[in-house]
Amino acid sequence: MFPSTIYSERRKKLRSELPGGIALFLGNTDIAFNYPANQYTFRQDSNFSYFFGLDHPDLAGLIDLDEGKDIIFGNDLDISDIIWMGKQPTIAEQAAKAGVSVTFPLIELIEYIGIAVAKGRRIHFVPTYRAETRIQLAGLLANDHLKIQDKASPELIRAIVKLRMVKDEPEVKEIEKMIDVAYIMHTTAMKMAKPGVVEQQIAGTIEGIALANAGPVSFPVILTVNGQTLHNHYHGNILNEGRMMVIDAGCENDLHYASDITRTVPVGGKFSQRQMEIYEIVLKANMEAINAVKPGVPFKDIHLLAARVIAKGLTGLGLMKGEPDEAVAKGAHTLFFPHGLGHPLGLDVHDLEGMGENYVGYDNEVQRSKEFGLAYLRFGRKLQPGFVMTIEPGIYFIPELFEIWKNENRHAEFINYDKVEQYLDFGGIRIEDDVLVTADGVRVLGRPIPKTVSEIEEMMAG
Ligand code: GLY
């Protein structure tokens, strides 16, 4: 955990953002895997972690905004727990580490909330992403678990987004530690990407590296020679020369700060001319987008900048035609780059996404587009110092999308369908870094992971 003052300070700031009532944070419970006593690895709720820090199941944190009290609800272990789990610090001892001096057994949360509700006090809570939490919340608030989600507090959501989006130095350090572990994951994957190897061997190895050096992976590893499928979790292919392998992977630590890095490498370690040509375009989009990051710039503009670099590069190769800027304005590039440029990163790999993407990534100034491609951009609003973002442009040849577009002759003035058809066996390329928005620009976080053609070839030869 961070020093207790960090958690106290975060709660104090939250209090100053909210009008009154109670802010309720239910920690996560254990989830059964195949029978009750055999459970998935426990993962604490990120908001609970942020404000209360404790990292085990069956806790609730409460900020009583009217009475200026912070409370942790949880149960001390009894002897039968101790036999199986060993002696643990008491809830009061644990709470002190989060700067909280008031604790109650978990059961007392029912009465505390019941009295508050009876008095007509406002209970602020955030949207839930687990059925268990939804049921617990619905029970506490005597509400329908199917409808409880609609009662989440917009004020609390906005206040949390405001606080969590801006990372302080200790948080950035934690993220950087996780990128340094991702360095080992990615460079190991690069060295293993030899013809005849099965994807699973590499995916399993790098997941083990995450566990051995930090904590679990921050999302299921994407490692595939079929990178045209953006989130491809199938790891059964045998690597063959001539294919590109996408590795999109990161990890999180005991505080739950995450990394999220993508590299794409040629199986066997040498780029062919065709691979290099496409790779250099994605690399240019990645680097120009990073260079454009600074406070006050809408992320949507940087996304569109990357799209223009991609359209220009593909036009240079004869895969697109016409005026690249016009092609992007009309959305023609989305055949190749259908997703958004990136997303916030922090305690969640898609940081704060559980709050609702539009609360996090959009505001009155920048609203979410409904157009294909741009609609997938998770974050469009202006950047601020302290934001940590991923920058992850890509070029993909998705045969199914190609078929639809070709049959419709969609954007035929910008797409050379005959030429693109020759690339349908290519797969995809994505290059992703994690960056911090600084007071006047940008800092790429963590130990640099090979990214240029020569850096990758050198690493793969090593
Ligand atoms: N890197 C996986 C994702 O952004 O969804």
Kind of pairing, strands 428-430 and 394-396? antiparallel
Those residues of the chain that have pLDDT short of 70 are none
- 219 Cβ closer than 6 Å to some ligand 1 atom: yes
Q: What CA–CA distance (Å, rounded) separates 443 from 461?
A: 29
Per-residue model confidence (pLDDT) at position 6: 98
Atom of ligand 1 nearest to the CA of 262: 1
Q: What CA–CA distance (Å, rounded) separates 372 from 398?
A: 15
* pLDDT digits 0-9 by tens, 364-373: 999 999 999 9
455 C-alpha to ligand 1 centroid (Å): 23
Residue indicated by tokens 């006047």:
440
- Is 169-461 in CATH node 3.90.230.10? yes
End-to-end alpha carbon distance in the chain: 38
Query: Where exactly are the structural domains of the chain?
Result: 4-165, 169-461
Ligand 1 mutation target, pool 349, 351, 360, 433, most atoms within 8 A of CB: 349
Please provide the CATH number assigned to the domain covering 4-165.
Answer: 3.40.350.10
Whose CA is closest to 374, among 437, 328, 417, 410? 328
DSSP structure string for 58-84: SEEEEEETTTTEEEEEE----HHHHHH
Atom of ligand 1 nearest to the CA of 343: 4
345 C-alpha to ligand 1 centroid (Å): 10
pTM of the complete model beyond 0.85:
yes
- 260 Cβ closer than 6 Å to some ligand 1 atom: yes
* pLDDT digits 0-9 by tens, 89-118: 999 999 999 999 999 999 999 999 999 999
Alpha helices (H) in 144-255, listed in sequence order? 154-165, 169-192, 199-213
Q: What CA–CA distance (Å, rounded) separates 86 from 79?
A: 9
Q: Which two tokens stand for residue 219?
A: 């999302």
344: region left, alpha or beta (phi > 0 left; psi from -120 to 50 alpha)? beta
- 248 Cβ closer than 6 Å to some ligand 1 atom: yes
CA 303 from chain center: how many Å? 17
Q: What's the chain's length in residues?
A: 462
150 C-alpha to ligand 1 centroid (Å): 27
Per-residue model confidence (pLDDT) at position 103: 98
